[in-house]
Structure 1
Amino acid sequence: MTNFKIKLLLITASVLAVAACSQESQDHQEEHGDTVAQAHSDSASDGHDDDHGDDDHGDDDHADGDGHGEDEHDDDEHGDERGEGVEVHLSQHQIDELGIVISPVARGAVDGVIELPAEVGFDQNQLAHVSPRVSGVVRSVSVAEGNRVEVGDVLAVLNSRPLADAKATYLSARARLDLAESSFQREERLWERQISAEQDFLDARRALEEARIEVRSAGQQLDALGIDVQSLPPVGASSDVSLTRYELAAPISGTIIERHAVLGEVLEEGAQPPAFIIANTDSVWVDAAIYGADLGRLRAGATASIDAGDGGPPIESTIDFVSPQIGERTRTGRARIVINNPGDRLRPGMFVTVYATATDALPTTRVPVTAIQTVDGETVVFVRSEDGFDVREVRIGRRSDRYAEILSGVEVGERIAVTEAFSLKAELQKGEFDDGHAH
């Protein structure tokens, strides 16, 4: 009995222990389940928020991306395909400070341009050697080298005895002519009235004709000396009038480039060197040397570009004359270009370079290679605008050392920067942009 009770107690204790463990395990599971559920709920909430955020962000990115892509595409089309929309803002003062030269786009040859050495000389049609036509002593000189003179200005005054003799001869002939006219008129009236003989009338008429011939001859002598007979004093005028005064006058307008007349010097007729040399440099000759193989490739009328070597734009002209003669010493031909030279940019004695177009060259739209720059991988030129320069994309074809053929982008007559284009590129790349414009 006792053993039975002991066993019953042990079984009861075991059941209680198992029940306690089962309750503890259930409580632990419930607590753990609540925690996991909370964690799952939190995770779901976070995941939902994240998804929502991702969606919002994705939508925003998509919207922004679409808008940005369209703007970028539009800008590229506007700036590159049409060559418009980008501008370098510069004032005229800034353009002058940068030394930018602007010239119109023109047609000409890219290939077949012959480089010729040349020298600037006086236009011989605008040059005058001034010397007296009669010998005399220089009494006064009124000009110096470098002075500008006009036609008829008095350069110097001479005292000339031969001139006085010529004037006296003319005045004497004039006096005899006056007497002969009076005698003829008297004899004519007498002969008409049958008072005098016809022979007397004929003698008077012969004397009149001889007097007229003498006056004409004396007047022509004075004209050969450059004296206007109308400037002479009338017959019977005061003896105080000087017959020796000889005025040496300018035959053309221009600049005194040489003066050899000296006060008190005796100048002889046709003296060398001349008393004065006058040149009008508004027009000059550029004589270019043509070598061997190029002699047959140049003709009068061919276009020519002159580089004066002063950093300025080339002077565009045409060849006026190609000499058929070869120089004995130089064994070269000669091409002459007559240049209008306002401002005296070309000065006689200067050496310049002429780029002449050969007869076998083909004309096309061209620009100097100095006008071309590369911006963002695109070939561009800078076209003058009201506020500065438009950056214009161009497509080029053939290219030489001096010129590039333009296939598209600019038209003949548009004004572009032909020097210091790199300075404009630097201004463009400074990064100061406003709606696609560089300032």
Structure 2
Amino acid sequence: MTSEVLPKNKIGNASAHKPAHRRIQPMDWAMIVSISVILGIFVYTSMFTREFTVNVVSVVQEYPYQIYTRFSTAGVVAAKRRVDIAAKTTGQLVEFAVEEGSLVTKGQVIARLESADAAAQRDQIEAKLKLAVANLEHARVDLAEESLNVERYKKLFEMGSVSRAEYKAAEGRYRKALSAVDAAEASIKAESAALRGAEVALEYTQIKAPFSGVVLSLNAEVGDVVTPLGPAGGSDSSVATVVDVSSFSVEVTVPGARIGEVQRGQPCAIVIDGLLDEHFMGEVSSIEPRAEKGNADFAVKVRFLEYDPRIRPDAAARVSFLSHPVSRDDDAPRMVVHKSAVVTVPGGYGVYLVKDDRAVLKKVRIGKRFDNRVEILGGVSVGDMLVANPPEGLKNGSRLMVNI
């Protein structure tokens, strides 16, 4: 069999069609690294060096009333019932039974005058009354005896056993006994009236509260001789000043432009000058237009819901008108932030903390919501600055430009 011999050039062409396995040259590695670096720089630049212009809000500690405050205005504490109390009789002041600031009930003794003479007078009249009562008893016994005696003499006279003179004498003794009873009864009435007068005089040595309230001031000293108030009144004879705490209110002026935000029964918070670290709850009790012609303001009274002995009439105060009532149990300071700073993150909520011109994503626990505020239970601190309304694309570590 004859074998066919291929030309050399054909054999070379066949080998030329085999796939070539080319090794990656150093130049190729350099290109790959360069492209990776460029992509990395691009990603880093787009994610971390892009600067976001943002607004910020602060984490603050506030009372719920501050969160619900619509507006505030200044005023003065006033008492509707305020009385200067004086003695009802002239006498020497020997004791104060209360102190300034004491709560008193109606009829409670505030002070006492010297009462020995009045007590002795009362005791003397009381003894006379007891004697008059005893005399009445004796007179009634005598009257009973004389009544029986006159009846006996009448029968004897009719029988002719006694003379007319003897019968008339018996009648005389009966009438005398009857008069003695009448006199004893009249004496009892007189002594009873005298005793009531003596007891009133003794009662006048005790100066009492005319109504329940608080002792605003003591206006005399132990040892002073005090007198009743004169016809014109005045405070020269005043022993003490008492105010009705239930009538305490703060009187404020509200401009006509804001009176639409105020209504009767509206909850309020009151801060007293000198007690700035505390506040007291109240409510609007009256709204009246000012009497002056052309004055568009309104006189508003806010009454206290609870009394504190440190509150005094004429003290300066500031009233916050609230959009929502606040209970005493719920009236504690809370760490809050504007709701625009809180975002949803996997597993809960988070905020973007502004730190060194960077956004730092912090996971937080939230509590109660108050209108446009959210209570923060942990994750940030009071004073921290947070991004409000985080813009799209903001990431942990993003650069920030804060609007001032």
TM-score (normalised: structure 2): 0.49
TM-score (normalised: structure 1): 0.46
Structure (1 or 2) with the greater strand fraction = 2
Structure (1 or 2) with the greater helix fraction = 1
